[in-house]
Amino acid sequence: MSTIQSIKARQIYDSRGNPTTEVDITTKDGMFRAACPSGASTGEHEALELRDGTSQWHGKSVFKAIKNIEEVFGPAVMGMDVTDQKAIDAKLLETDGTPHFSNYGANAALPISMAVARAGAAALGKPLYAHLGALSGRTDVMRTPVPCMNIINGGKHAGNALAPQEYMIAPFGAKDFAEAMRMGSEVYHHLKSILKKAYGIGSTSVGDEGGFAPPINNPRAPLEVIMEAVKVAGYEGKVGICMDTAASEFYNKETKMYNLNFKGEEANWISGAEMADMYMEWCREFPIISIEDPFDENDFESFAVLLAKVKAAGLPTQIVGDDLTVSQAERVQDAINKKACNSLLLKVNQVGTVTGAIEATLLAMSDDWSVMVSHRSGETEDVFIADLVCGLGTGQIKTGAPCRSERTAKLNQMLRIEEETGMPFGFDSWTA
């Protein structure tokens, strides 16, 4: 056995300059490290991110979580075998005493769970992606994914007036991950030139995830300018568009209406039904293959209406639950029962353990859903999710633009994995 001999935690900084947690686990095989990401647009059902709430760091320091790592979770898992991921993750949950780490924080549990996965891989003499594939029982389908690159930022990720949070490109027509990266990079730089010419140099400043943040407030306009960049690059028919509307951020629970100008002075309210019609219009006009969080995190009814419309029209667009499902099996099951979506966005910090993320993935896939592994807007240089998506073989990842090192770190890791293994590439339902 390779057991946990020591656990040390520290406060580090994420890509927004906010504090987050990092953990070092030591076994006989060496030291293994993991860091916890953080979201800006967060679902109310996510596992707890514990912050100190003091006057320092604007209340965002994580010393309580660090104390919980070293004095609560650490002692609980000390001496456990790192190859038994499920047992260690179960012990973390048992120690917290709540389903979503409401006592001691998911940002205390998750880096332990991630570091354990790395230690377990080393103990078994496997690369991390292979270990994660074995833990999920999916070693036969491991592959590099289509990178869904966030090239225009809005919502809470940017300082412009654009309501939808992310407009992404997905180079599904590439022959491998390396070519997909080239295609995405070329479209990204063509877009930069187009935006600079149309809106001035200030339009090419980037948001939290590396995408451009032009002074646009019409939510349809980014679709037009992205398609212009795709055509200039010569990849029409090989690049799809993915969106993350993050509609919970501009939803009014009392009126059940959506404000498409929530960052401006004059509101632009529309209903869920009108939103669905708007999405359908866009999907018919543009190659939109994925829409994430098109409605509020509790608006299962509108999700179901849109999914039914998309299916009836024979469109290839997947309807992705993020805030709706928060990577948790019970929320996924609820969405399955209500036929609310057919794709899961997988964020490990929403559930708090590697085992929990795998369980949510397998449940979603049992109902023929797709799964898109995802970063957070507040990222670290930790590349764990690159190995996770290859090990799970889901075929889709979003980890930002081909820009900013906390984003490209993940993309570069997948280039290395492809080079090392010759893994197949892509997502079967997206073909050129």
* Catalytic residue numbers, as ranges: 209, 347
Of residues 414, 360, 336, the one with CA closest to residue 128: 414
Provide CB contacts within 8 A for 183, sequence distance 6+: 171, 173, 174, 233, 235, 238, 239
- Is 271 one of the annotated binding-site residues? no
Residue 165, classified by CB atoms within 10 Å of its CB into exposed (0-12), middle (13-18) or buried (19+), is buried
Provide CB contacts within 8 A for 98, sequence distance 6+: none
**167: which strand partners?**
152, 243
What's the DSSP call for residue 361?
A: H
- Is 398 one of the annotated binding-site residues? yes
Tokens of 230: 């795709």
| C-alpha–C-alpha distance, residues 307 and 381, integer Å | 35
- Is 376 one of the annotated binding-site residues? yes
| C-alpha–C-alpha distance, residues 176 and 142, integer Å | 14
| C-alpha–C-alpha distance, residues 402 and 271, integer Å | 35
Q: Is the dihedral of CA 64, 70, 71, 72 positive or negative?
A: positive
The amino acid sitting at 183 is M
Tokens of 117: 């996965």
Task: Give the ranges where 245-373 is alpha helix by DSSP (H).
Answer: 272-285, 300-312, 329-337, 348-351, 354-366
Backbone angles phi, psi at 371, to 5 degrees: -135, 125
What's the DSSP call for residue 145?
A: P
- Is 89 one of the annotated binding-site residues? no
- Is 322 one of the annotated binding-site residues? yes
- Is 224 one of the annotated binding-site residues? no
- Is 323 one of the annotated binding-site residues? no
Classify 23 as helix, strand or coil.
strand
**396: which strand partners?**
146
The answer to whether the CB of 350 falls within 8 A of the CB of 46 is: yes
Dmax over CA atoms of the chain, in Å, equals: 63
Distance of CA 107 to the CA centre of its chain: 16
| Cα→Cα distances 244→46, 220, 301, Å | 17, 13, 18
The answer to whether the CB of 97 falls within 8 A of the CB of 90 is: no
- Is 292 one of the annotated binding-site residues? yes
Classify 15 as helix, strand or coil.
coil
Which residues line the annotated binding site for Mg(2+)? 244, 292, 322
Which residues line the annotated binding site? 157, 166, 244, 292, 322, 374-377, 398
Which residues line the annotated binding site for substrate? 157, 166, 292, 322, 374-377, 398
